């Protein structure tokens, strides 16, 4: 059984055989265990210690969207854990010729030990998981980006220490990145604020679900349209691109709509002096963030990007291995 135990846990936490579709499916204890294992694994790598809990295991990775951090971190992570990654393009699979998701899930379940998929519709990931008998990991959908949020939590924990009671302000589009951040905040006691232009708020049903979880941890989830008011006393400020993949035709319109939602030095002056800047990347300097912020001393974006590797190694070890 895949499990991890710490002194503060009443009993070991096991995620063996489970899926990772969205963070709200997990418990507070599961997230704490994942972060603890990620930190442990990162330290092992720094010391040059071998950590190979996935010897003989194979992960199939299906990519329907372009990918840098997700593909490289999962492929490298799986190899470092002793397993074998298979990077697959939908167009080179029978999926691209009309084979059903259900049939693909059943076939893959007989070949490999887990499936990562980066795609458009969240319902496709749910269908894949519904027919697979092996763990399915959401590498990004139109509604959720759980692996990114795990890396974000890991980064904040490294920089700020205890997460409970900290304030994280997300500025920009209320998209899949914020949805997973809201769930992550709810599970760890973070206070999170979404600052969006009117009409670009996060999905109400996802926010409502996160708020239910937040009642257990004391977290708060707030949505507003005023950046200056929102960043007061912020421990961290996070942003994402204004036009995500699939929204290219809206790019010019979004430049106008989001013009007042740029993260710049003037905005950071209204936050705490030691505020940390985060961005999931890729970034467009001069649009959602200025170069002096993302390349400045308060930016942790490349630490955050590296932590995709360590967070995902912990996730893989707990879902597919014996950790």
201: which DSSP letter?
P
Residue 205 and residue 99 share a domain: no
Does 141 count as an annotated binding residue?
Answer: no
Does 20 count as an annotated binding residue?
Answer: no
Residue 134 and residue 117 share a domain: yes
**254: annotated active-site residue:** no
Catalytic residue among 142, 152, 173, 240: 240
Catalytic residue among 71, 118, 279, 310: 118
Residue 194 and residue 98 share a domain: no
Please tell me the predicted confidence (pLDDT) of residue 117.
98
289: which DSSP letter?
B
pTM for this entry:
0.95
**308: annotated active-site residue:** yes
CATH of residue 131's domain is: 3.40.50.1370
Residue 153 and residue 279 share a domain: yes
* Token representation of residue 213: 């979880």
Strands (E), the chain: 3-4, 13-14, 58-63, 84-89, 114-118, 136-140, 167-171, 191-195, 220-224, 236-239, 276-279
Residue 248 and residue 151 share a domain: yes
**pLDDT tens, the chain, 323 aa long:** 345 544 434 457 899 999 999 999 999 999 999 999 999 999 999 999 999 999 999 999 999 999 999 999 999 999 999 999 999 988 889 987 889 999 999 999 999 999 999 999 999 999 999 999 999 999 999 999 999 999 999 999 999 999 999 999 999 999 999 999 999 999 999 999 999 999 999 999 999 999 999 999 999 999 999 999 999 999 999 999 998 877 778 889 999 999 999 999 999 999 999 999 999 999 999 999 999 999 999 999 999 999 999 999 999 999 999 65
Report whether 210 contacts 53 (CB < 8 A). Answer: no
Please tell me the predicted confidence (pLDDT) of residue 77.
98
Side-chain half-sphere of 297: how many Cα atoms within 13 Å?
Answer: 2
Does 73 count as an annotated binding residue?
Answer: no
Q: Which residue has the tokens 């330290």?
A: 43
Tell me, yes or no, whether 209 lies in a domain: yes
Catalytic residue among 71, 308, 310, 323: 308
Please report, for the chain, how many H helices and E strands are present, in that order: 12, 11
Range of the domain at 234: 146-305
Does 61 count as an annotated binding residue?
Answer: no
Tell me, yes or no, whether 11 lies in a domain: no
Tell me, yes or no, whether 1 lies in a domain: no
Please tell me the predicted confidence (pLDDT) of residue 7.
40
* Surface-to-core class of residue 39, CB atoms within 10 Å of its CB (0-12 exposed, 13-18 middle, 19+ buried): middle
- Of the candidates 198, 191, 178, 187, the residue with the CA atom closest to the CA atom of residue 33: 187
Tell me, yes or no, whether 5 lies in a domain: no
Does 281 count as an annotated binding residue?
Answer: yes
Catalytic residue among 19, 71, 113, 148: 148
Report whether 270 contacts 228 (CB < 8 A). Answer: yes
Please tell me the predicted confidence (pLDDT) of residue 1.
31
Does 244 count as an annotated binding residue?
Answer: yes
Report whether 181 contacts 238 (CB < 8 A). Answer: yes
**295: annotated active-site residue:** no
Q: Please count the structural domains in the chain.
A: 2
SS3 string of the chain?
CCEECCCCCCCCEECCCCCECCHHHCCHHHHHHHHHHHHHHHHHHHHCCCCCCCCCCEEEEEECCCCCHHHHHHHHHHHHCCCEEEEEEHHHCHHHHCCCHHHHHHHHHHHCCEEEEECCCHHHHHHHHHHCCCCEEEEECCCCCHHHHHHHHHHHHHHHCCCCCCEEEEECCCCHHHHHHHHHHHHHCCEEEEECCCCCCCCHHHHHHHHHHHHHHCCEEEEECCHHHHCCCCCEEEECCCCCCCCHHHHHHHHHHCHHHCECHHHHCCCCCCCEEEECCCCCECCCECHHHHCCCCECHHHHHHHHHHHHHHHHHHHHCCC
Does 58 count as an annotated binding residue?
Answer: no
Tell me, yes or no, whether 15 lies in a domain: no
Distance set, CA 111 to CA 58, 69, 153, 303 (Å): 8, 25, 33, 35
**148: annotated active-site residue:** yes
Residue 312 and residue 227 share a domain: no
Report whether 13 contacts 33 (CB < 8 A). Answer: yes
Residue 166 and residue 155 share a domain: yes
Residue 28 and residue 125 share a domain: yes
Does 6 count as an annotated binding residue?
Answer: no
Report whether 85 contacts 93 (CB < 8 A). Answer: no
Report whether 148 contacts 180 (CB < 8 A). Answer: yes
Catalytic residue among 71, 122, 144, 145: 145
- Of the candidates 281, 177, 169, 174, the residue with the CA atom closest to the CA atom of residue 227: 169
Does 245 count as an annotated binding residue?
Answer: yes
């Amino acid at each position: 059984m895949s499990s991890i135990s710490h002194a503060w846990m009443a009993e070991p936490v096991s995620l063996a055989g489970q899926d990772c579709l969205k963070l709200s499916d997990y418990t507070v204890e599961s997230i704490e265990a994942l972060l603890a294992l990620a930190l442990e694994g990162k330290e092992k790598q720094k010391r040059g210690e071998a950590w190979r809990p996935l010897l003989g295991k194979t992960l199939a990775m299906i990519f329907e969207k372009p990918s840098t951090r997700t593909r490289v971190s999962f492929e490298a992570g799986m190899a470092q854990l002793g397993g074998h990654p298979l990077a697959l393009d939908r167009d080179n699979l029978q999926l691209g010729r009309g084979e059903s998701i259900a049939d693909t899930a059943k076939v893959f379940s007989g070949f490999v030990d887990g499936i990562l998929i980066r795609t458009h519709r969240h319902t496709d990931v749910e269908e894949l998981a519904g027919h697979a008998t092996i763990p399915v990991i959401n590498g990004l959908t139109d509604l959720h980006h759980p692996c990114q949020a795990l890396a974000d939590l890991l980064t904040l924990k490294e920089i700020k220490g205890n997460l409970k009671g900290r304030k994280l302000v997300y500025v920009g589009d209320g998209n899949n990145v914020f949805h997973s951040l809201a769930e992550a905040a709810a599970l760890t006691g973070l206070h999170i604020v979404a600052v969006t232009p009117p009409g670009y708020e996060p999905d109400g049903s996802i926010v409502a679900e996160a708020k239910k979880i937040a009642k257990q941890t004391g977290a708060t989830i707030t949505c507003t349209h005023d950046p200056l008011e929102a960043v007061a006393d912020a421990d961290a400020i996070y942003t994402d691109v204004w036009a995500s993949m699939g929204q290219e035709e809206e790019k010019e319109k979004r430049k106008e709509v989001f013009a007042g939602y740029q993260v710049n030095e003037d905005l950071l002056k209204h936050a705490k002096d030691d505020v940390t800047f985060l961005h999931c990347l890729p970034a467009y300097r001069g649009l959602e963030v200025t170069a002096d912020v993302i390349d400045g001393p308060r930016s942790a974006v490349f630490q955050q990007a590296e932590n995709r590797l360590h967070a995902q190694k912990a996730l893989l070890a707990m879902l597919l291995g014996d950790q």
